[in-house]
Amino acid sequence: MPASPALALGAAAERLPAAYGTRRLWLAARDPHWLYANWDLSAEEMEEREGSAVSGHLTLRIHENAVGPAPVLEIPLARGARSWFVRVGRGGVQYIAELGCAEPGLGWQTLLTSNPVTAPPDGPAMAAETEFATIPIDVPFAAVVEQAVEAARQEESLAQALDALRDQGFADLPSAREVRAPVWTEAQERALAEVLRVDAHRRVWVSSLDVTGLIAERLGPAAEKERGGEVEQPSSPAGGFAAGEAGGISSPSGEGRALERERGFWFNVNAELVIYGATEPDAQVTIAGRAIKLRPDGSFSLRFALPDGEYELPVVARSRTGDDGRSAELQFRRHTEYRGAVGAHPQDPRLAPPHPESITSAGAGQPG
Amino acid sequence: MPGYLALILHAHLPFVRHPEHERFLEESWLYEAITETYLPLADLIERWREDRLNARLTLTLTPTLCSMLGDPLLQSRYERRLSALIELAEKEVHRTCWDAGCRRLAEAYVDRFTRLRARWHACDRNLLGVFRALQDQNRIEIVTSAATHAVLPLLRDQPAAMRGQILTARDHYRACFGRDAVGFWLPECAYAPGVEEFLREANLRWFVVDTHGLTNATPRPRYGTYAPVFTPEGLAVFGRDIESARQVWSRNEGYPGDPRYRDFYRDIGFDLDFDYVRPYLPSPDHRGFTGIKYQSITGGKGGKRCYNPADAQRAVTAQAAHFLEARERQLARLAEVMDQPPILMAPYDAELFGHWWHEGLAFLDAVVRGASDRALDFTFVTPTDYLRRHATHQVARPSPSTWGEGGHLRVWLNEENEWIQPHLRVAEQRLTALVRRYPEPGELVDRALRQAARELVLAQASDWPFILHAGTSPEYAQRRVTGHLGRFQELYDMLMAGAVNEAGLREMEAVDNLFPNLDWRHWR
């Protein structure tokens, strides 16, 4: 029996009640082929119902269009499960879920029935007659709406409502009947259909996730491997994702999990100089000809990256009045001999190297 | 036949404000975005105005982002952060004394951050006011989004919750910008039938869906994404143009991956000695981004090359020209088959420009200036501009869709984050029950109801399930969801018992302080 996703709750959920006992079954269409069902039964009721079921567990039934004797899917649920991802065959169809079980001598007993949901369609709708409307954006919408709401509640379109209002004396409102659909030849239709078809075939999911992926890609093969491949549909009955699903981020940085890098022994070495000293707090000090800021007590401390080479570093202090001064000519030489592969950055793998996987995300899309 | 290009930048960050900590890691999301995107973007639009360029741009500023930009605590913390960054950049000028390439970059960072601080002071920390003025000068159109960026299709059968998200956004926009929003950004471009009712109530006139939201509409839209449709409720719906999206966004074809561009990930916060960078890190105990980076993306094997701004600018110029040529070709091809001027709708996350893609704002600048120099046969418009010029459109019902991976709700509803849903749903129902229970509350109950609504909307943000799914800092997202739901529960218990603990309430108000005038009656 497949595991329930609800059993894999994080620690966070422990602070919230497992159930509220509202006795509601919520059904949502996640995409054209996956539904999500969630039910809120108290622990006692769940246990009691599971205990009385012939099979020892509850069952989720999925119906097309309306509840009937023959569901299109019947899913045996793990004991204790409170939610389920359900794969369905067709997009664009209305589904209703039923939670229940078969009880001895009674047959199927419905515990809860969900709201109906319509899964998104798989593709473009069939061509149909087109209706055009004129809705000037600067016509006070609120005033129109107030009048039109009632008409719209009666399942009329706004265009129809506008017509009705116009008949009722709102002469300034545009009439949908007066708006003629633009003249449209078959040749135009074919030509545009061709353009749209090309677009549909070249469709890609592009969002901030992809941008981070794009940038990460340049980090090299290891990054590519970790980033994972293209999006795949979930394949397990419980809606489990393919392991290669693209992880990603859509927004700025933050603490992240450390990257587990698949490499063996390694070594990075860098050298920096620290130049520090002190003088009168109001003196002017330059290092390599560049003025530096002194701390309030007149002390200073600066770092210098020291690559291989020979360097001179003049340090000069002048009194505030300019009538006194001191200087020091520092000379340095760095020469490094490496044995084996020695790099420079980062300094410590535990310090979460700058990799997309180690960066926190938020929103935005977003992301946003 | 002329055409139109509508650039939409969607600026959003979740509400992250932790007065209880001196330095808080996740607050740096805002600070980085101000430094790298929001302030430079405002500057860029002002330069366009000075140079009299036609560059109508649409900018979404989500209510949570507006709340943070206007928050005095976050403003002062940002200023502290920016000053620290300047100090670090000055140290870097010395440290890179014997590395000419890095030294030039360090000097440029000092210059850049110092100018940003001057700009920040010049606007009196009020970045929101800068954008408001740009809108009042007719340079940009600012649109709003759901109060806390909730994925609205998940609220489809909780109409009060959806209404609360939308009307709270409407109210907040008025308070921030002194007028009503015309357009609405659906969080995550997530559409399902049902949102129209409340958008219409809020007097919002248009929104954007992803490409398939329009191409799969019923009946099939004659012009695909190249013209909006009206929903039966009278809202205009624009569809994302996939070609212009792909050139900027795509993993394989996108511009930001050019090897000459600055590498986002190589930051001295990760590369240099920990003791040295520690005072400047977002969180003192963890390596993180400082904002100072020296490497280019480079590509291929071997080490990274030092970033060369002149090389990057050449890439920007070439890509902007390519983008404009592609739009010209696209519009010319469409002009042959359409009987009305096509519109290309190009929405992007604002933070892409400048934050993720360092050269992104220079790219936008080059696009706008290139379009002006070349006297192109298309016009930059906002969707509202376009609807003023073209008021007749096909009536169709868009298809449920999002711009997340897979094009639907998978990012926000999967094994990692589905546990949130039942708790949210109960809280949503309970808030409505409370609102009905107290039609004429006293002052204390009024405050408690307002805070309960704040906690609910904060828990509904799309950001938390997204982070849980991406797995990047799930502990924080979990804490946020459970924290807000826990506080909601406390308030619910108090209100049901008819005994509001004023001290406890005051504490919550101090921490989750957004939407000061939130109207809980929207949840009736």
Contact indicator for B228, B237 with CB cutoff of 8 Å: yes
Of B302 and A280, the structure prediction assigns the larger pLDDT to A280
Is the same domain home to A58 and A156? Answer: no
Residue A147 maps to a domain = yes
Give contacts of B 361-420 with A, CB under 8 A: 384, 387-388, 391-395, 399-401, 403-410, 413-415, 418-419
- Please write down the long-range contacts of A111-114, taking CB distance under 8 Å and 24 or more positions apart: A111/A23, A111/A41, A111/A49, A111/A58, A112/A23, A112/A24, A112/A25, A112/A39, A112/A41, A113/A25, A113/A67, A114/A25, A114/A26, A114/A27, A114/A37
The structure's pTM equals 0.86
A10 and chain B: CB distance < 8 Å anywhere? Answer: yes
Interchain contact, A123 vs B216, CB within 8 Å: yes
The CATH architecture annotation of domain B3-70+126-262+307-406 reads: Alpha-Beta Barrel (3.20)
Is the same domain home to A39 and A138? Answer: no
**What does the pLDDT look like over A60-112, one tens digit per residue?**
999 999 999 999 999 999 999 999 999 998 899 999 999 999 999 999 999 99
**The CATH number of domain B413-523 is 3.40.50.970:** no
Interface A-B, measured as beta-carbon pairs within 8 A, has a size of 445
Interchain contact, A145 vs B200, CB within 8 Å: yes
Domain count, chain A: 3
Q: Are strands A325-334 and B3-11 parallel, antiparallel or unpaired?
A: unpaired
Chain A residue whose CA is closest to B301? A220
**What does the pLDDT look like over B204-223, one tens digit per residue?**
999 999 999 999 999 999 99
Is the same domain home to A42 and A100? Answer: yes
**What does the pLDDT look like over B15-28, one tens digit per residue?**
999 999 988 989 99
Domain residue limits at A131: 126-184
Contact indicator for B350, B10 with CB cutoff of 8 Å: yes
Q: What is the DSSP string of B99-125?
A: -HHHHHHHHHHHHHHHHHHHHHHHTTT
B339 part of the active site: no
DSSP reduced 3-state for A28: strand
Residue A208 maps to a domain = no
Highest mean pLDDT among A148-152, A215-219, A299-303: A299-303
Residue A198 maps to a domain = no
**What does the pLDDT look like over A111-146, one tens digit per residue?**
999 999 999 998 888 877 789 988 888 776 666 656
A271 and chain B: CB distance < 8 Å anywhere? Answer: no
Residue A290 maps to a domain = yes
Q: What is the DSSP string of B480-511?
A: HHHHHHHHHHHHHHHHHHT---HHHHHHHHHH
Interchain contact, A272 vs B95, CB within 8 Å: yes
A223 and chain B: CB distance < 8 Å anywhere? Answer: no
Interface test with B, best of A138, A270, A290, A366 (most B CBs within 10 A): A366
**What does the pLDDT look like over A286-336, one tens digit per residue?**
999 999 999 999 999 999 999 999 999 999 999 999 999 999 999 999 999
Give the minimum alpha-carbon distance from A257 to chain B in angstroms, rounded to a whole number: 7
Is the same domain home to A106 and A144? Answer: no
Q: Give percent of chain B above pLDDT 70.
A: 99
**What does the pLDDT look like over B351-374, one tens digit per residue?**
999 999 999 999 999 999 999 988
A273 and chain B: CB distance < 8 Å anywhere? Answer: no
Half-sphere exposure of B188 toward its Cβ, with a 13 Å CA cutoff? 34
Last residue of a domain, one of A95, A118, A141: A118
Is the same domain home to A96 and A133? Answer: no
Is the same domain home to A73 and A145? Answer: no
Is the same domain home to A88 and A166? Answer: no
Is the same domain home to A36 and A135? Answer: no
State phi, psi for A75 to the nearest 5 degrees. -115, 120
Q: Which of B263, B328, B349, B416 is catalytic?
A: B349
Q: Residue ranges of the domains in chain B?
A: 3-70+126-262+307-406, 413-523
Nearest by CB: A157 against B355, B393, B395: B395
Is the same domain home to A301 and A277? Answer: yes
Among candidates B488, B490, B497, which has minimal Cα distance to B520?
B488
**What does the pLDDT look like over A221-242, one tens digit per residue?**
333 333 333 322 222 223 222 2
Interface test with A, best of B251, B253, B263 (most A CBs within 10 A): B251
Chain B residue whose CA is closest to A34? B410
B99 part of the active site: no
Give residue B254's pLDDT.
82
Q: Is the pLDDT of residue A357 over 60?
A: no
Interchain contact, B391 vs A134, CB within 8 Å: yes
Confidence of residue B252 (pLDDT cuts 50, 70, 90): low
Is the same domain home to A12 and A108? Answer: yes
Q: The domain that contains A102 carries what CATH number?
A: 2.60.40.10
**What does the pLDDT look like over A39-48, one tens digit per residue?**
999 999 999 9
